[in-house]
Amino acid sequence: MLILAAALVILIGLVHSYLGEKYILIRLFRQSLPPLFGSDAFTKQTLRFVWHLTTVSWWGFAALLLSLNAGHASKNQILLIIAATFGIGAMFPLIATRGKHLSWLVFAAISVICYVAGTA
């Protein structure tokens, strides 16, 4: 049962990212958006990475479901999945906004803390 739930989470993440880009973000970016840091580029990049960060978060949940299904969802395993999810999540604002959106620092800190706790 949990494998089916994980597969659905992975599928909805793919659909969310693809259809969101194709039908929502592209159309939204044709509109006038508030300029931040001198242009609307930062605004667009922030909206894009946040949209896809949702998918990454869902895939982290899918990994938790698969771990639970396999029967080895120990505290350390769960912490390492959370660390990986936030580590990947930190890369989105770091790359998309060249580090201007400071959420990457918080996501990276969460990742490191969970990794250290999961390997202790």
Q: What is the pLDDT of residue 25?
A: 96
Is 90 exceeded by the pLDDT of residue 85? yes
Q: What pLDDT does 96 receive? A: 93
List Cβ<8 Å contacts ≥24 apart for 20-24. Answer: 20/51, 20/52, 21/48, 21/51, 24/51
The residue assigned the tokens 């959370």 is 82
Closest CA to 97 of 21, 55, 36: 36
Which of the four pLDDT bands, split at 50, 70 and 90, describes residue 100? very high
The full set of domain ranges for the chain reads: 2-119
- Give the pLDDT band of residue 2 (cuts 50, 70, 90): very high
Is the pTM value of this prediction over 0.75?
yes
pLDDT confidence of residue 39: 86
Query: Cα torsion at 48, 67, 109, 34 (round to 10°)?
Result: 10
